[in-house]
């Protein structure tokens, strides 16, 4: 059974994060430079929220804020759904589908240890299916 920890081992556990008082423009620059769609918002390594390109696109204009004066706290999504390293790939996929989210912070004993994206989950599912097909082909042909 593939777990969140297995996914992090493949992709790496590096996490890009910002603090709530970070200017939005700075957060956008980090997302652009790192080619990522979201940043976890943390304080003292505790997850407070997440800010995504979608949050920026949808909330900045609606709140009547300027990108020059807005902070991450103004736009971030709170009540972030997280998973633990031992939670299954199926659970992660179910959460992402049911809650319509693209990023799942992975938290271990209250500490942020990684982030799984929908792309990571799809890649892991494809890998599992390819392994199963290879195993079944070997079984059918008698190959070892």
Residue 83 has phi, psi (to 5 degrees) of -130, 165
> What is the number of structural domains in the chain?
1
Q: What is the CATH number of the domain that holds 52?
A: 3.10.580.10
Task: Give per-residue pLDDT as tens, 102-140.
Answer: 999 999 998 899 999 999 999 998 988 888 888 888 888
The pair of three-digit structure tokens given for residue 2, joined into one six-digit string: 């593939």
Distances (CA, A) of 40 to 35, 125, 127: 14, 24, 27
Question: Encoding tokens for residue 75?
Answer: 């736009």
pTM of the full structure: 0.84
**Average pLDDT, integer, range 72-82:** 93
pLDDT for position 144: 62
Domain with 100, as residue range(s), is: 4-141
- Please classify residue 23 by burial: count the beta carbons closer than 10 Å to its beta carbon, then call 0-12 exposed, 13-18 middle and 19+ buried: middle
Query: Who's near 134: CB < 8 A, 6+ residues apart?
Result: none
């Amino acid at each position: 059974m593939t777990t969140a920890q297995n996914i992090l081992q493949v992709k790496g556990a590096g996490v890009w994060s910002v603090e709530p008082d970070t200017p939005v423009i700075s957060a956008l620059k980090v997302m652009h430079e790192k080619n990522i769609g979201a940043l976890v918002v943390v304080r003292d390594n505790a997850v407070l929220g997440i800010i995504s390109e979608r949050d920026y696109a949808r909330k900045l204009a609606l709140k009547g804020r300027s990108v020059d004066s807005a902070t991450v706290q103004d736009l971030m999504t709170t009540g972030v759904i997280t998973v633990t390293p031992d939670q299954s790939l199926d659970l992660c996929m179910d959460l992402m589908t049911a809650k319509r989210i693209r990023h799942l912070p992975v938290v271990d004993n209250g500490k942020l240890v990684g982030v799984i994206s929908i792309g990571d989950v799809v890649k892991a599912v494809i890998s599992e299916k390819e392994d199963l097909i290879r195993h079944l082909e070997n079984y059918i042909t008698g190959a070892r």
